[in-house]
Structure 1
Amino acid sequence: MIENGDIQNLIDAYGESIWAVDTDLRLIYFNAYFKEDFKNAFGIDLTRGMDLLAHASREVSDFWLPRYQAALSGKRVSFTFKENSLRGNKYFRVNLNPLEENGTLKGVSAISVDITGEETARRLYEAEQRKAQQYLEIAGVMFVALDSAGLITMVNRKLCEVTGYTKEELIGSNWFSMMLPEREREEVAAVAEKLLRGEIEPVEYYENTILTKEGFERIVAWHNTLVTNEEGVIEGHLSSGTDVTEQRILEARLKEREEFFKTVADYTAGWEYWMSPDGSYLYISPAVESITGYTPEDFHRIPGLIDKIIHPADKELFKHHKKTVSPMHDPVDFRIITKNNTVKWIGHVCRPIYDSRGNYRGIRASNRDITKRKCAEKEISNLLREKEYLLKEVHHRIKNNMATLVSLINLQLETVKGEEAKSALLEIENRIRSMLTLYSTLFESGDFEHVSLKQYLGTLVDSIVGTFPEAEKITVYKKLDNLNLPVKVIFSIGIIINELVTNAMKYAFKDNPAGHLKVGAVLTGNSIQVSVEDSGNGIPDGVDIFQSEGFGLKLIRLLTKQLQGRLELDGKEGTKITITIPLEKKK
Structure 2
Amino acid sequence: MTLSRKKTILLVEDEALIAMAEKMVLEKNGYEVITVHTGEKAVDTALEDSMIDLVLMDIDLGRGIDGTEAAQMILSEKDVPIVFLSSHTEAETVEKTEGITSYGYIVKNSGDTVLLTSIRMAFRLFDAHTELKQQKQHLNRTLTRQEHTEEELRNAESRLRSIINLSPLMISEFDTEGRYLMVNPAIARMFNSTTEELVGKSFDELLAPEVVNVFRERIEKVEKELCSLQVDDLILTENGNSYFMTTLFPLFDSKGQLRSIGSIAQDITERKAAEDELEETLEMIDNLARLVPGVIYQYRLNPDGSSAFPYSSPGMNSIYEVSPEEVREDASPVFGRLHPDDYDYVSSAIQESARNLNEFFCEFRVILPRQGLRWRWSQAHPERTKDGGTLWHGIILDVTERKKNDERIERLAREKETLLKEVQHRIKNTMNTMVSVLSLQAETVQEIAAVEALTDAKSRFQSMEVLYNQLYRTDSHKSASVKEYLDQLARSVISLFPNGAGVELITDIEDISLDAGRLSPLGMIVNELVTNSMKYAFSGHAVPRLSIQVHRRDGSITVIVQDNGSGLPESFDIRTSRGFGLTMVTNLTEQLNGTIQIENSTGSKFVLSFPE
Give the TM-score normalised by the residue count of structure 1.
0.69
Q: How does 1:555-570 map to 2 (within 5 A)?
A: 555-570=584-599
Give the C-alpha shift of residue 469 in structure 1.
1.4
| Greater mean deviation of Cα atoms: 381-390 or 510-519 | 510-519
Aligned counterparts of 2:492 and 2:178: Cα–Cα separation in 1: 117
TM-fit CA distance, 1:129: 13
Tell me, yes or no, if structure 1 residue 323 matches structure 2 residue 347.
no
1:179–1:211 CA contact under 8 A, matched in 2: no
* Residues 310 and 577 of structure 1: CA distance in aligned 2, closer, same or farther (over 3 Å): same
1:503 aligns with 2:550: no
**Residue in structure 1 matched with residue 122 of structure 2 by the alignment:** none
Q: Give how far 1:293 is off.
A: 2.7
CA distance in 2, matches of 1:128, 1:371: 73
Q: Could you tell me which amino acid in structure 2 is paired with residue 287 of structure 1?
A: G
SS in 1 for 2:551: strand
Query: Among the aligned pairs, what percent are the same residue?
Result: 28
Equivalent in the alignment of 2:298: 274
CA shift, 1:353, in A, is 2.6
Point out the more displaced range, 535-544 or 145-154: 145-154
SS at match of 2:569: coil
Aligned equivalents of 1:461, 1:336: Cα separation in 2:
59
Say which of 251, 254, 262 aligns to 2:278. Answer: 254
Q: How does 1:65-464 map to 2 (within 5 A)?
A: 136-139=164-167, 141-147=169-175, 149-176=177-204, 178-179=206-207, 185=211, 187-189=213-215, 191=217, 194=220, 204-210=229-235, 212=237, 214-226=238-250, 237-278=261-302, 279-300=307-328, 304-325=332-353, 326-329=356-359, 331-340=361-370, 342-354=372-384, 360-464=389-493
Q: Alpha-carbon deviations, 1:413-471, whole Å to 9, x = none?
A: 11111111111111111000000111222223444112121111111100101111122
CA contact (8 A) 1:163 1:211 kept: no
Preserved contact between residue 424 and residue 468 of structure 2 (Cα < 8 Å): yes
Mapped pair 1:528 → 2:569: no
Look up the SS of the partner of 2:301 in the other structure. Answer: coil
CA distance in 1, matches of 2:164, 2:348: 62
Q: How far apart are the structure 2 equivalents of 1:229 and 1:475?
A: 122
Tell me how far 1:489 sits from its aligned partner.
1.5
Number of the residue aligned with 1:582: 611
CA gap of 1:514–1:406, structure 2 versus 1, over 3 A, is: same
Alpha-carbon shift at residue 561 of structure 1 (Å):
1.4
Aligned to 1:518: 547
Q: 1:543: which partner in 2?
A: 572
Paired residues of 1:473 and 1:515 also in contact (CA < 8 A): yes
| Displacement after TM superposition at 1:393 (Å) | 0.7
Quote the offset at 1:168 in angstroms. 4.5
Question: Cα gap change, 1:458/1:351 in structure 2, threshold over 3 Å: closer, same or farther?
Answer: same
State the AA in 1 paired with 2:292.
T
Decide whether aligned partners of structure 1 residues 358 and 539 sit closer, same or farther in structure 2, where only a CA change above 3 A counts.
farther
Once the two structures are overlaid, the 10-residue window that deviates more, 335-344 or 486-495, is 335-344
Q: Secondary structure of 2:173's partner?
A: strand
Q: Is the 8 A contact 2:178 2:216 kept in 1?
A: no
What is the aligned residue count? Answer: 455
Structure 1 contact 475–516 (Cα < 8 Å) conserved? yes
**CA–CA separation in structure 2 for the residues paired with 1:272 and 1:481:** 53
Aligned-residue offset at 1:130: 8.7
Alpha-carbon shift at residue 369 of structure 1 (Å): 0.8
Q: Secondary structure at the match of 2:541?
A: coil
SS at match of 1:421: helix
Secondary structure in structure 1 of the residue aligned to 2:499: helix
Measure, in 1, the Cα distance between the counterparts of 2:409 and 2:337.
28
Q: CA deviation at 1:246?
A: 3.0
Are the equivalent residues in 1 in contact too, given 2:309–2:331 (CA < 8 A)? no
After TM superposition, the score normalised by the length of structure 2 is 0.67
Following superposition, the deviation at residue 199 of structure 1 comes to 7.2
Q: 1:383 to 1:175 in 2, by over 3 A?
A: same
Cα gap change, 1:276/1:177 in structure 2, threshold over 3 Å: closer, same or farther? farther
More displaced stretch, 252-261 vs 368-377: 252-261
- Distance, in Å, in 1 between the alignment partners of 2:330 and 2:280 is 30
Is 2:553 aligned against 1:487? no
Distance (whole Å) between structure 1 residues aligned to residue 498 and residue 172 of structure 2: 123
Q: Could you report, residue by residue, the CA deviation over 1:50-107 in whole angstroms, capped at 9, with x for unpaired residues?
A: xxxxxxxxxxxxxxxxxxxxxxxxxxxxxxxxxxxxxxxxxxxxxxxxxxxxxxxxxx
Q: Aligned partners of 1:158 and 1:173: how far apart in 2?
A: 16
Change (3 A) 1:446 1:218: closer
Report if the CA contact (8 A) 2:518-2:592 is conserved: yes
* Separation of aligned partners in 1, 2:322 and 2:474: 50
Structure 2 unaligned spans of 5+: 1-150
Q: Which amino acid aligns with 2:211?
A: R
CA distance in 2, matches of 1:168, 1:177: 15
- Shift in CA distance, 255/507, structure 1 to aligned 2, threshold 3 Å: same
1:315-339 deviation per Cα after TM superposition (whole angstroms, max 9, x unaligned): 3322321221155436221111111
State the secondary structure of the residue aligned to 1:434. helix
Instruction: Point out the more displaced range, 298-307 or 480-489.
Output: 298-307
Q: Distance in 2 between matches of 1:330 and 1:273?
A: 13
**2:600 maps to which of 557, 571, 574:** 571
Match runs of 1:4-15 below 5 Å: none
Contact 1:177 1:185 in 2 (8 A): no
Helix, strand or coil at the partner of 2:453: helix
Contact 2:308-2:330 at 8 Å conserved across structures:
no
**Residue 549 of structure 1: how far off its partner (Å):** 2.6
SS of residue matched to 1:312: coil
Question: Cα offset for 1:581?
Answer: 1.9
Deviation at 1:502?
Answer: 0.8
Distance 1:201 1:301, change over 3 A: same
Q: Which amino acid is 1:338 matched to?
A: L
Q: CA deviation at 1:554?
A: 1.9
Q: Residues 179 and 210 of structure 1 are in contact (CA less than 8 Å); yes or no, is this contact kept in structure 2?
A: no
Once residues 415 and 490 of structure 2 are traced to their aligned partners in structure 1, the CA distance between those partners, rounded to angstroms, is 34
3-state SS in 1 of match to 2:576? coil
Aligned mates of 2:522, 2:189 — CA distance in 1:
93
Q: CA deviation at 1:249?
A: 3.0
Name the stretch that deviates more: 538-547 or 324-333: 324-333
Name structure 1 gaps, 5 residues minimum: 1-123
Deviations 1:127-182 (A, max 9, x none): 999968666435553222345554434322232245542234434444355346x8
